[in-house]
Amino acid sequence: MEDPRRRACETIWHLWQEGEVINCLPEDLRPGSRREGYAIQAGLEAFSTKPRYGWKIDATSLAGQQHIGVDQPLAGRLLAERVLADGSVVSIAGNRMRVAEPEFAFRLARDLEPRSTPYDVSEVMAAVDDLHLCLELPDSRFRDFARVGGACRGSVTL
């Protein structure tokens, strides 16, 4: 039997490429936890033709978390083919969320390796090399993106 995680990745990748939406992943592909959702998200990199560009954090405020139905911030991969060059002209005609979010992008001078204890602010700031202003054009492959929940949402942050 084919791995459900891989099938979930294929489904999500296809939805992004075709600009299609669904209510939620089919029951047999749906992650049961945030950890499983992140595992699916990690598998999406195999479908990318370019290396990972970086990381993002979504829902950093309580209001943002309430808006999309999660109980804590979510980390997401930034795939290089979804990053546009400075000065690019972008149409949001196919974007269902129809919003542009001003963001701060930090370029790190060094990697912060995974570890069992959280990094504190001073450790993270010591790793920052540069700060850039950018825009995020969020969208979702779920019809009701505000109600899909954390486990599924973690699997589709691109």
How does pLDDT run along the chain (158 residues), one tens digit per residue? 369 999 999 999 999 999 899 988 998 998 888 889 899 999 999 999 998 899 898 889 999 888 888 888 988 999 998 899 989 998 888 888 888 899 999 999 999 999 999 999 999 999 999 999 999 998 888 888 777 766 565 555 54
Give pLDDT, residue 155. 53
Give pLDDT, residue 102. 92
Domain that holds residue 24: 4-83+145-154
- Residues 6 or more apart in contact with residue 57 via CB below 8 angstroms: 73, 74, 75, 76
Number of domains in the chain: 1
Rg (CA), the chain: 16
pTM for this predicted structure: 0.80
Please check whether residue 48 lies inside any domain of the structure. Answer: yes
Please check whether residue 58 lies inside any domain of the structure. Answer: yes
Please check whether residue 53 lies inside any domain of the structure. Answer: yes
Cα torsion 5, 50, 93, 104: sign: positive
What's the rounded Cα separation, in Å, for the pair 53 and 75?
A: 14
